[in-house]
Every structure is written in structure tokens, then in C-alpha cells.
Amino acid sequence: MPRDNMASLIQRVARQARITFRSPAGPAFGENLHRLQQLLDEVRAEDLHLAPRGPSAAAAAGGGLPWSGVVPPVSYMHICETESFSMGVFLLRSGACIPLHDHPGMNGMLKVLYGTLRIACMDTLPPAATAAAPPPAAAGGPCHRALFRSRQHYTPASPPCLLSPHTDNLHQIDAVDGPAAFLDILAPPYDPQHGRDCHYYRLLEGPAAGAEPAGLPREVWLMETPQAADFWCGGEPYPGPRVCL
């Protein structure tokens, strides 16, 4: 059964996110971010009226052509959005992958609600005059140096996964051994008109981001790519407590 405080919990998360990201350069940002992290760590699937499953057939309607009528690998439940942050739930089918992508100039927090996620995190690195040239496979698109920082498994018992504009800003998310879902906060939201568009990347050397990596952290080369043809995100209704801001 859902807990008695479920409605106030997700509402408190949203209010704290608004406070935290209203002034990300302010002196209290660190303290506010820690408080938000503590609240997010308390959220469980039942608080949002969710039971373990992947995207539903209803999500196909939100995927648009050419995938109408096909259950997508990932679906999104929108909860709320302001100018300073957005919050929602991503549902992944078993074996689904959200490909390696970035969050330009954004902070983010991810809390697993059910299932297991394998998350690979990377940082972009500035161009270096002494850096080696990209590998030959890089002829297909723009290339970037990056630091492959970590690759970890996250479950509902794990603390939130955090990203900042400069640390762990690129990540790949894989559902492991069954469907998975996570609560996601991005601040500010994606907005292509303000330079915050999502870009996708492919690892050019060594194992793929979802494979067992060599020693980490280590420098790698990434090639910017179009969105993968087999990845898209449908939309479905959020069934949990209403959030008012």
C-alpha cells in the first residue's frame, strides 16, 4: 500500500527542486542540492502509484510516426516543469538502452524506482594541442575528447545519480535483467532555442559504454551521431499524486 505521506513527498521534492535550481549560482546552492538529494532518496515506486513494468502499449501513441502502434523501448511520464527544472518518470523495457547523450549546461538527478540500471558517466574534455588524433572511425561526424569516469549499477536502494554541467554530464542508461523506471530531474529543462539540445554520441575506442570497461577513469574519443533508429521515447500519463507549483 502507498504510504500516507506519498502526496506530500513528491510535492516536497518538486518544491525543493524549485528552490534549489532557482539560484544555481547562489551561496546556498550546495545546501539546497543536498536537501533535494535527501528527499529524492526517499521516493519509492508506490509513492507515484507505479508497479514494476516496462512501457505500456498506450505509450506507442506518444511515440509518433513511424512507430505508432509499436510499444517503444522507453516511455516518459511528465510530472511538472518550470523555467528552472523539469521532473518526470522514465520507464524502460527489459534490455532497453537510453543511448549515450549529453545535458548541455544542465544539472540532473536520477533516482531508480524499480529494477536495475547500469549507468555509464562521462565528462567532455577541452581540446588539447598535444592530444592524439581521433581514431580512423571518426570520419562520420564531429569528435570530442572525453573522460570515461564510471560505470555502476543502481537500484531502488542506491542514492540518486547526480550530474552537473561539468561532471558526469554525458551518460548512457541500460535496463538490466528486467524492466526499470527512474524519477528524473533536469535543471534547467532541455530547450534547443537556448542552446540546450540533446546530442547523442558513440564511443570510438575500446568497449561500448554498456560493455565491461577497462580501467576507469580513462580518456576516450566520442563521435557525435544522430539519434539511433531503434531508440525513441513514447509518452504515457503520470498516475501519481498531483504536483502544484
Query: Angle formed by the axes of helices 6-22 and 29-42, to 10°?
Result: 160
Dmax over Cα atoms in the chain, in whole Å? 59
* Whether residue 155 has pLDDT greater than 70: yes
* Whether residue 203 has pLDDT greater than 60: yes
DSSP 64-110: -TT-TTS--SEEEEEEEE-SS-EEEEEEE-TT-EEEEE--TT-EEEE
| Model confidence band, residue 17 (pLDDT cutoffs 50, 70, 90) | very high
Q: Is the pTM of this model over 0.85?
A: yes
* Whether residue 7 has pLDDT greater than 80: no
* Whether residue 6 has pLDDT greater than 60: no
Q: Provide the pLDDT for residue 85.
A: 97
CA nearest to 148, candidates 126, 125, 181, 129: 125
Q: Provide the pLDDT for residue 209.
A: 62
Average pLDDT, the chain: 88
Q: Provide the pLDDT for residue 57.
A: 73
* Whether residue 33 has pLDDT greater than 90: yes
Q: Provide the pLDDT for residue 126.
A: 84
**Assigned CATH topology for domain 71-127+140-205+213-233:** Jelly Rolls (2.60.120)
| Model confidence band, residue 71 (pLDDT cutoffs 50, 70, 90) | confident
d(CA 244, CA 160): 23
* Whether residue 133 has pLDDT greater than 90: no
CA nearest to 54, candidates 201, 198, 160, 175: 175
Q: Provide the pLDDT for residue 120.
A: 96
| Model confidence band, residue 131 (pLDDT cutoffs 50, 70, 90) | low
Average pLDDT of the segment spanning 69-94: 94
* Whether residue 111 has pLDDT greater than 70: yes
Cβ atoms of 219 and 147 within 8 Å: the answer is yes
* Whether residue 215 has pLDDT greater than 50: yes
d(CA 74, CA 134): 32
